[in-house]
Every structure is written in structure tokens, then in C-alpha cells.
Structure 1
Amino acid sequence: MPGRRQLLMAGAGMAAASLISQVSAAEKSAGNPISQGSASSNNSQHVPQPGKRKLGGLEVSAIGLGVQNMSRKYDTSVPYRPEMLNIIHSAFDQGVTLFDAAEAYGPFEVERILGEGVAPFRDKIVIATKFGWNIDQQTGARLQGLNSRPEHIKQVVEGMLKRLRTDRIDLLYQHRVDPQIPIEDVAGAVKDLMDQGKVLHWGLSEMGINTLRRAHSALPVTAVQSEYSMLWRGPEKSVLPTCEELGIGFVPWSPLGVQFLTGCIDENTRFATGDFRAIESRFAAENLPHNLQLVALVKQWAERKNAAPAQIALAWLSARKPWIVPIPGTTNRDHMLQNTAAAAIRLTPAELSELNQSLDAITIQGQRLPAAVQVYSDVEAPLRG
């Protein structure tokens, strides 16, 4: 049951082989204060409640919880399920209201875990999940490539609703852009689901910028989800400015740089077979010592702010824009409590400027993803014929 990067690599292998050989419905819960409206044209028009943030018109906790690794961790070990449920419950007790999953995580198993975990307080939280990989809906088998055919999306959502034990998905993302399907057709399928009350908001992940604009024009987009952290700042070039222009929220995945920014990785760290980080060149033995300059900087700021390194990394993301909501994942309750508490850490404008200058002086060596996996990001959907 691989996680995000493992499923990307599995898909990349199949895609490479192939290449070589050739607003929304009325709310189901009218009294739910965290699931209202759609994205407007300007993020600054939204004033969230204390301790909350707005993704477009969707109000959520300032920090969410990614549950991807609750079916299998980076090192491929399987977490103790009762403890994962306990973490979900504890996160809610700490004020977390955004929980992020995907059909591809497991596949299916993470959605089952999340559905069971949030059942007691379902109407008080936001469930986000994702479609887009080509997964057999009966067996869970990973088939070649991507699949965002409208009829497939609708079939996927039916399965999601069962696994999540709910009658609606608060935020439904396209996990990766299907290069065979116009984004307008994808938006049309999601709009049908919204009209049925099965989906309330939608978003995209790791998409090309033109596709984001077309998607938003066809059906207002609430949020974009892409990798973003001190370790990978790619979205700053065009994704974040576009989100700000269009009034779209931003949800960073891997906000802690797949544990790098927690300070638990050093120059002697080597990754087990099956751990995706073993094939990311930024963690290769020849690059790791150089890149640890970033960890040293984060640790300096952690001492200065009387915080944990992970908290500095999350506080920095939150300080970038008021419509950024990180979703750190963990299988450790103490780490979840630490991550959630990062919402209380403030960086003054002067501190943020100083920290940014130091970050700008560090150039990360190596790539965030292997080329066969990176090919799934920044994809532009085809135009309608």
C-alpha cells in the first residue's frame, strides 16, 4: 500500500513503458460553518474566524492533517490502526478540521481509516480526497497511467463516499492532470456531482498554470494542492501568484520536506529499500551534506523562537500567505500535537524578511522527484477538439 511518491513511481513506470512502445450544490449541512460558499475573485475579501483560514470560500483550521501514511509509512512498515484512529480523534480535539486523503493511498485503505476515524464528528470537519489515477474500482489494482474520464470520476466518487462513510466530499481534487481529457470535461463531471450534493468544492494538484486558469473559468476552484516547503519552493514562481489573483487557496503537501525539516535526517542517514526518498537525488549521499545547511538554519530559528524545527517550517509557510494551509502528515501523536501547535507561532514581518534572506542564500542540490515521476507534474490538459 504505497504512499504518494510510491504510487507516482508505479505510475511512472507504466507510463514510461507506454511511451517507449509508441458554485456548487446546496450544503447538505446548512448549519455547518466550515463548509460555505465557493472561491471568490480575491482571497483578501475573506475574513476567517480566529484560528481558521479560508481556502477560497471554505473555512478550515490553520493547519490540517494529511493521513496518507496511516496505511503504510515511508519505510513501508504498517502503522497500528487503533493508534491512527486515536491520532485522528486527538487532532480534532486540538481544533484540526481539515483532513486530507486520496483514493490512491492504499489504494482505498487511507479513506477507510479516515472515514472510521472522523465518523463521530463528521459534520464538524472538512474531508478532502483526490481522484485521477487509473485504479480498478473493484480490486484496487493500479492500471496504467491516469484516468479522469467523466464516467470514471463519478464511479470513483461513489466508492469514496462508501469508504469515507459520508454523503458528500467537502473538497475533491484532481490528483494529477490527465493529458487525454480536457479539463472542461473534468469540471463538467464535478459540476454534475455538485448538483447532486455529493461534492461541495473542488481543486487541482500539481497542474499546469493554463489548466488551472481553464479549470477555474469552467467551475470556480477552491484550492490547489502541490508540494511546497522550505525544501521545495517551486510554487512561488507562478502557482502562488495565480492562486492569489484568482482567489484560490493553497494546500502544501510535504510541508516538512518528507521529514527533512524536522531535523531527524543527518549526513549519515540512508533510506531503506522501498522508501521513496532513496531515489530522490536531493537526499543522495553526494547532496545531503550540502542540503543540511537548510536544516541547520531551521534549527537556529527553532532555538531562537523556543520551538521545534518542524514548527518553524510550518510557521514559515503560514506566514507566506493567509490562504495557505499546510497538511503535515504523521503516524505519531506527539508529532501531530507539535505540528498543530505551530499555528500559534508568529513570525514578525522583520523576522520573516530575515529568514527569507537566509533561505534565498541556500541552493538545494538535487531534484525533488526522479524524471519519470516529475513528468506527472505541471501537465497541461488538452484543448477540446
Structure 2
Amino acid sequence: MANVGTIKLGSQGLEVSAQGLGCMGMSAFYGAPKPEPDMIALIHHAVQSGVTFLDTSDVYGPHTNEILLGKALKGGVREKVELATKFGIRYADGKGEIHGDPAYVRAACEASLKRLDVDCIDLYYQHRIDTRVPIEVTVGELKKLVEEGKIKYIGLSEASASTIRRAHAVHPITAVQLEWSLWARDVEEEIVPACRELGIGIVAYSPLGRGFFSSGAKLVENLTQDDFRKYLPRFQPENLEHNKTIFERVNEMATKKGCTPSQLALAWVHHQGNDVCPIPGTTKIENLNQNIGALSIKLTAEEMAQLESFAAADAVKGDRYGSDITTWKDSETPPLSSWKAA
């Protein structure tokens, strides 16, 4: 199996495995939760294989994914991993609310520490930006948590370039998590350059297009009613019919290269730079092994350009999310001068 190796994430000293493991689908959003013993075995297999950067959030479940990881980290596993979790989204009456006020930040961190059963979280992200609270206020509280030893490094997820700059001025941001794949490339214009200018690492979630680059349009046929991908604009029949040609082209190229389409799509993300760590999620050991295999695929500049031509910005139909989910495009916060602490 390919040697996973490590990369430096950001400029504050965090080192993580060059590929991480997104744990969300084990417990939430992608259909029914998977059997706990199987998922613990998968996490242990990942760590033994060198995939030691584990990604979760308090909203996955909610809470159950963190509890699962807490169990998986027992017996000396905690010392071998870089543990990332997130706060900021809370479900009330079936609706997601976003919170970034200091009291919430602190309470969320304490609750995550308890569920994960750890003393310290390696990388703590704001999962979505609370547009009612100046980003300086939220990061100010995170900075206190760093000083208290409860978290080591601070991250943001789905934040705009200006939000990232303002946050970084309060306390160095170690990583920004964003959706980046062959068919989600809108971050390349402003956000990726801003991260690079500031020395912030980039964590790419859904690098396989939420499974699309594993099986193309067939993916949708096999989704259960409680899988939220079923409702994403890109997977709606009118868009899917168009989008499936992207998969077909990637698949054709993968066949020529002697790898799977998902390995090819993942290799493309790995080739974006040594400051980028993709975190493909899976619930199957064979898929995990296949994802690790993507690290040994070498792509020439011509092959990169060819792949990008299949999924040019105007080639993908449908948004990443429905209108009910905010992204970095809606992440501006009010100026600090407007904040009146409660």
C-alpha cells in the first residue's frame, strides 16, 4: 500500500497525515448510522495504515459521531492521531441554527471534549460562520481556549477570504476546510490564494464529489431516502443527466491510467499542493485502501489540464447545496465596532 506520509498544515506547527478520514458518513447525513464495531475497526485500520487525521463535528448525529470517535480513540489510539472537530451548527425543531457567540463557543468545546473523552482537541473549526457575530469575537474566544490548553489549533470552515483575513489577524488560523474537488472549484479564485498568502493549510472535504466520482449517476440510484445527497441540486435528474458525462470522461481516463475514477479524482486534489489535505469519507475498509492508493498516482501537467477540462466551471449543473445551507458565499460578519457583549 502507498506510504501515506505527512504534511505540515498551516504555519503553526500542526503536522497531519497527507490524507485524512472524514467520519461524518459513519453516523449521519448519508443514510442510517453504520454499525459501531465496524466503524471502530475501520478507524483503527485507517490509523494503522497511516491515515491519522480524523475529522468529525458535534453536529454529526448530532453528537453520536464524536461519541463513536471517543470510543475508537481508547487503548492508546489517541496519541497516534490528529483529531479535528467543529462547532457552530445546532439543530432546533429540525432547523439548523448557526452560533458563534463566546458563551456558545466555550460550551460547545466543553461538550465536545466530554463526548470525545479527551483533554484537548488538536484542530477546532468553526463549522459555519455566524453572520450576527463579528468573526473577531468568535476567534477571540477560541484564542482563550488555546491559551487554556483545551484546543491546540484554530480552523474555519466555509469562510470567505475577507472573513479568513479578519480571523487570522486575531489569532493565527491553522486550516480552512472547504469543499474542493474536480466539480467544486469555486474556491480557487479567492479563498485558496488568501490561505496561501497567510500560510493557512487547506483541508478539502468531499474530494470525491460526495461519492459521485466513485460510481457516477449510479450513486443516486442506490441512495436511501434519508441520505441528504438525494436532495442536492447536482443529483437532481435534470442536472444529473448532464453531469454524468463528467464522470464518464474521468472514468475513461482512469481506465487508461490503470486506476479507479475515484483514485484519479482524489489524485487531482493531492496534486494541488503540499498544503492541501483531502479528507475523503468512507465506511468500508476496501474504499479506504483504494483512497490511500490515490497517493501513488502521478499526474502530468497535461493530465491535470485534461481532467480540469472535463469539469470546467460551466460544465457542472446544479449548486453544491440547496438554498437552506449557508456556505462561504454568505459568511461575512458585521464589523467588530458593532458588537455589544451581552
Give me the TM-score of the superposition, normalised by structure 2: 0.91
Q: Residues 72-107 of structure 1, C-alpha deviation per residue, up to 9 Å, x if partnerless? A: 352x22211100000000000110110000000011
- 1:127 matches 2:83: yes
State yes or no: 1:109 paired with 2:38.
Answer: no
CA contact (8 A) 2:4 2:19 kept: no
Look up the SS of the partner of 1:320 in the other structure: coil
CA contact under 8 A between 2:126 and 2:157: conserved in structure 1? Answer: yes
Q: Which runs of 5+ in 1 are unaligned?
A: 1-48
Check the 8 A contact 1:183/1:381 in 2, yes or no.
yes
- 1:66 is displaced (CA, Å) by 0.5
Which amino acid in 2 is paired with 1:99? L
Whole-Å separation in 2 of the counterparts to 1:52 and 1:165:
25
How far does residue 281 in structure 1 lie from its aligned partner after superposition?
2.0
Asked if 1:168 corresponds to 2:123, the answer is no
How much is the aligned-residue C-alpha RMSD, in angstroms? 2.1
Corresponding residue for residue 258 of structure 1: 210
Contact 1:267–1:288 at 8 Å: present in 2 too?
no
Corresponding residue for 1:86? 41
Q: Please list every run of 5 or more consecutive structure 2 residues that lacks an aligned counterpart in the other structure.
A: none
The structural deviation recorded for 1:367 is 1.6
Give 1:357 deviation, angstroms: 3.4
What is aligned with 2:187? 235
Alignment-derived partner of residue 309 in structure 2: 357
> Using the alignment, how far apart are the partners of 2:48 and 2:237 within structure 1?
41
Alpha-carbon separation, structure 2, partners of 1:361 and 1:374: 20
Is 2:167 the partner of 1:212? no
Q: Is the 8 A contact 2:4 2:50 kept in 1?
A: no
Q: Distance in 1 between matches of 2:193 and 2:181?
A: 16
Which amino acid is the alignment partner of residue 43 of structure 2?
Answer: I
Alpha carbons 1:267, 1:292 under 8 Å: kept: no
1:119-176 deviation digits (Å, cap 9, x = unpaired): 232112100000112368xxxx867621111111111111111111211000000000
Aligned-residue offset at 1:215: 0.2
CA distance in structure 2 between the partners assigned to 1:297 and 1:54 by the alignment: 33
Measured in 2, the distance between the counterparts of 1:88 and 1:369 equals 28
- Confirm or deny that 1:342 pairs with 2:286: no
Aligned-pair identity in percent equals 39
When residues 276 and 104 of structure 1 are mapped into structure 2, their CA distance, relative to the original with a 3 A threshold, is same
Closer, same or farther in 2 for the Cα pair 1:156/1:270, shift >3 Å? same
Structure 1 residues 232 and 94, CA, compared in 2 at 3 Å: closer, same or farther?
A: same
Amino acid at match of 2:325: V
The answer to whether the 8 Å contact 1:73/1:79 transfers is no
Contact 1:232 1:257 in 2 (8 A): yes
Partners of 1:224 and 1:212 in 2: CA distance: 8
Give the residue type in structure 1 aligned to 2:79: D
- Which residue identity lines up with residue 8 of structure 2 in the other structure? K
Deviation at 1:271, TM superposition (A): 4.5
Pick aligned residue for 1:97 from 29, 43, 52: 52
User: Aligned residue pairs: how many?
Assistant: 332
CA distance in structure 1 between the partners assigned to 2:293 and 2:237 by the alignment: 33
Q: Write the distance in 2 (CA, Å) between the matches of 1:372 and 1:206.
A: 15
Map 1:1-385; keep pairs closer than 5 Å: 51-56=5-10, 57-72=13-28, 74=30, 76-119=31-74, 120-134=76-90, 145-266=97-218, 269=221, 271-360=223-312, 363-374=315-326, 377-384=329-336, 385=338
Greater shift, 270-279 or 199-208, is seen at 270-279
CA distance, structure 1, for counterparts of residue 65 and residue 143 of structure 2:
25
Deviations 1:173-193 (A, max 9, x none): 000000111111111111111
**Kept in 2: contact 1:209–1:378 (CA 8 A):** no
Residues 210, 376 of structure 1: alpha-carbon distance in 2 compared, 3 angstrom cutoff: closer
Shift of 1:353: 2.9
Amino acid at match of 1:59: E
Q: d(CA) in 1 for partners of 2:271 and 2:199?
A: 17
**Aligned-partner residue type, residue 122 of structure 1:** R
